[in-house]
């Protein structure tokens, strides 16, 4: 019996070690190359043509980088993957009732979009937490933003800033103006439901709010953490 227990313990320990090594290698490899494809792209590709063009961060407008940070994760440069301020605010808002508010960071969305699958099980959420912390350990904030803007779904079968910019505005992601950047950021919660090209009343209100936030930050993304600390105090 003791031998069986020891065997089980060693097997479990070996599996955990192997999983961690493989996950770390996967994250390291993706820190050095463009993401070739994601699970969601594969699922979408079964029924439609997927539009996806990778662009390095320097080829994506700083306005769009700022717009998505303002819209999705204003403490992006200050947290280590989990934004406990937003989690606390979300819990308070949800206790009051009304629309359920989330607190997912850009890093968490990258973990889900790149390494996992789109469902709401506890296993997936636990895996998301694991990969979120691993990404923050290995990647720079610039890399996280680069991957996020390249793999985020921005329409039906449309993935990434470049494909979306070409389809909606007939221009490169490097040339987006403030309003166009805000429109793309505004549809991120529900890119199949809302339109960046012809925004309805809800999206337009969200666009104006994002533009006000961008004005506060100076309209261009900065990765200077000391500057960001002063801005959010």
**pLDDT of res. 166:** 97
What is the distance between the alpha carbons of residues 73 and 132, in angstroms, rounded to a whole number? 14
What are the angstrom distances between the C-alpha of 195 and each of 18, 198, 230? 44, 5, 34
Residue 94 maps to a domain: yes
Mean pLDDT of the chain: 89
Q: What is the largest CA-CA distance in the chain?
A: 69
Residue 9 maps to a domain: no
Q: Would the pLDDT of 43 be above 70?
A: yes
Residue 134 maps to a domain: yes
- For the chain, what is the domain count? 1
Structure pTM?
Answer: 0.90
Residue 21 maps to a domain: no
* Mean pLDDT along residues 95-122: 80
**Edge-to-edge strands of the sheet including 158-159?**
51-52, 158-159, 153-155
Helix or strand holding residue 51 (H, E): strand 51-52
* Residues spanned by the domain of 127: 31-232
Residue 8 maps to a domain: no
Residue 92 maps to a domain: yes
Q: Would the pLDDT of 32 be above 70?
A: yes
Residue 15 maps to a domain: no
Q: Model confidence over 183-195: pLDDT tens digits?
A: 999 999 889 999 9
- Predicted confidence band at 178 (pLDDT cuts at 50, 70, 90)? very high
What is the distance between the alpha carbons of residues 174 and 50, in angstroms, rounded to a whole number? 21
Number of Cβ within a 10 Å radius of residue 58: 9
Nearest to 110 by CA among 84, 88, 89, 139: 139
What's the CATH number where 206 sits?
1.10.3810.10
Residue 24 maps to a domain: no
């Amino acid at each position: 019996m003791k031998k069986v227990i020891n065997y089980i313990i060693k097997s479990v320990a070996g599996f955990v070690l192997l999983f961690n090594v493989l996950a770390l290698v996967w994250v390291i490899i993706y820190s050095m190359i463009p993401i070739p494809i994601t699970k969601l792209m594969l699922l979408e590709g079964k029924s439609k043509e997927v539009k996806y063009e990778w662009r390095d961060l320097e080829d994506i407008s700083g306005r769009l980088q700022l717009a998505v940070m303002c819209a999705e994760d204003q403490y992006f440069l200050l947290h280590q993957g989990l934004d406990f301020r937003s989690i606390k605010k979300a819990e308070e808002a949800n206790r009051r009732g009304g629309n359920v508010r989330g607190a997912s960071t850009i890093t968490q969305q990258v973990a889900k979009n790149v390494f996992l699958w789109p469902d709401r099980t506890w296993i997936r959420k636990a895996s998301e937490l694991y990969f979120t912390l691993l990404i923050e350990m290995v990647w720079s904030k610039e890399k996280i933003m680069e991957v996020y803007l390249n793999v985020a779904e921005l329409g039906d079968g449309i993935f990434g800033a470049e494909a979306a910019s070409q389809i909606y505005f007939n221009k490169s992601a490097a040339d987006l103006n403030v309003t166009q950047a805000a429109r793309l950021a505004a549809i991120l919660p529900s890119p199949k439901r809302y339109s960046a090209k012809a925004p309805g009343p809800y999206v337009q209100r969200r666009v104006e709010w994002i533009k006000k936030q961008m004005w506060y930050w100076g309209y261009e993304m900065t990765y200077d953490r000391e500057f960001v600390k002063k801005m959010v105090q």
